[in-house]
């Protein structure tokens, strides 16, 4: 286990271009060009602000701005932690909001495979001014050790979309490309974390990511204590997200507290009907899994 942990942390440290301590590491020598076979994680077919692949992961329709037709757009539903496919579900978050979503691809670079994650940072600024979004920081966290990822904010392949909402607020998505580098791999559960100031409010969000065969899955909250596991690469033949009609739904329970961290256990995991998503074969095996949530559940849900 210690060997796996060190390998994962070294992979993340090398990807970030920063040491595990303070200060910058070696300068980047990577090419700014998109790989020839890399799927675009910025494509937004319905122009609602959410990239298509993130909508597939999150289970909204990438070809409809309002999947459930409830007059609340999919981007607002994503930011409000409501269900995009249920018209009775209304956004629970208001004001300034930050929420992190992740997509993934194993891309070919020469003769080797490169693990590429896209961090999609959705935000809502009540003032309507993009200049009120500042002091942004990105991290990866594995088994208690955090690695800064701010270097990736300077990648020319990143994308930013913004949408003016009817109430005058500004919503948008900042998509940041994070590559572990050729031959790098992460074999233990980890988190991507984001924090920033929206106006005078400090906002945080986190994405729990788990290795699953040759790809990864993300834990997505849909109700307090209720989460689903969704594959981060909807284009792989292993996950086949659009192949059937069930999704892996889990019930979480707090089983302990260590410092400022909550210890959560998956008390139940089962496949539930859903119009577009395939339930992962490993779903029943999630029961009994223990998850550590730094800074409590609020970090996953945003604040």
* Secondary structure string (H, E, C) spanning 26-81: CCCCCCCCCCCCCCCCCCCCCCCCCCHHHHHHHCCCCCCCCCCCCCCCHHHHHHHC
Which residues, 6 or more positions from 132, have their beta carbon under 8 angstroms from its beta carbon? 125, 198, 199
In which order are the strands placed within the sheet that holds 145-148? 145-148, 133-142, 190-198, 201-212, 215-223, 226-231, 246-258, 261-273, 290-293
CA distance 69 to 86: 9
Q: What is the DSSP string of 160-198?
A: EEEEE-TTS-EEEEEEEEEEEEET----S-EEEEEEEEE
Q: Which pTM value belongs to this model?
A: 0.77
In which order are the strands placed within the sheet that holds 159-164? 97-109, 112-125, 170-182, 159-164
Q: How many CA atoms lie within 13 A of 195 on its CB side?
A: 10
**Amino acid 3: pLDDT:** 38
Which residues, 6 or more positions from 81, have their beta carbon under 8 angstroms from its beta carbon? 91, 92, 93, 99, 221, 222, 301, 302
CA distance 24 to 114: 23
Q: Could you read off the pLDDT tens digit of each residue along the chain, which spans 303 residues?
A: 433 443 443 344 444 333 222 223 223 333 344 444 567 889 999 999 999 888 877 778 888 999 888 888 899 988 887 778 777 777 777 789 999 999 888 777 677 778 889 999 999 999 999 999 989 999 998 877 889 999 999 999 899 999 998 889 999 999 999 987 776 678 888 889 899 999 888 888 888 888 877 678 887 776 656 677 777 876 554 444 333 445 677 777 777 777 666 677 787 877 766 554 556 667 777 788 777 665 544 555 555
């Amino acid at each position: 286990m210690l060997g796996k942990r060190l390998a994962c942390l070294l992979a993340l440290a090398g990807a970030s271009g920063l040491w595990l301590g303070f200060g910058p590491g070696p300068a980047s020598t990577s090419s700014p060009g998109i790989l020839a076979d890399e799927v675009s994680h910025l494509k937004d077919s319905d122009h609602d602000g959410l990239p298509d692949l993130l909508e597939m992961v999150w289970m909204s329709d990438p070809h409809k701005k309002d999947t459930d037709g409830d007059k609340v757009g999919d981007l607002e539903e994503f930011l409000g932690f409501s269900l995009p496919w249920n018209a009775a579900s209304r956004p629970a978050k208001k004001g300034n909001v930050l929420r992190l979503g992740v997509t993934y691809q194993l891309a070919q670079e020469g003769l080797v495979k490169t693990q590429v994650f896209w961090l999609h940072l959705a935000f809502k600024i009540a003032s309507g001014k993009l200049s009120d979004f500042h002091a942004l920081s990105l991290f990866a966290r594995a088994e208690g050790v955090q690695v800064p990822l701010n270097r990736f904010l300077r990648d020319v392949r990143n994308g930013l979309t913004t949408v003016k909402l009817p109430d005058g607020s500004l919503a948008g998505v900042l998509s940041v490309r994070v590559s572990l580098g050729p031959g790098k791999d992460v074999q233990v559960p980890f988190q991507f974390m984001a924090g920033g100031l929206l106006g005078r409010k400090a906002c945080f969000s986190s994405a729990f990511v788990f290795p699953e065969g040759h790809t990864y899955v993300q834990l997505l909250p849909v109700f307090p204590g209720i989460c689903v596991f969704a594959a981060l690469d909807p284009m792989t033949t292993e996950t086949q997200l659009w192949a059937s009609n069930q999704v892996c739904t889990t019930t979480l329970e707090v089983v302990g507290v260590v410092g400022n961290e909550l210890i959560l256990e998956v008390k139940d995991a089962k496949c539930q009907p859903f119009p577009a998503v395939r339930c992962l074969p490993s779903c029943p095996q999630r029961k009994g899994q223990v998850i550590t949530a730094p800074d409590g559940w609020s970090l996953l849900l945003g604040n």
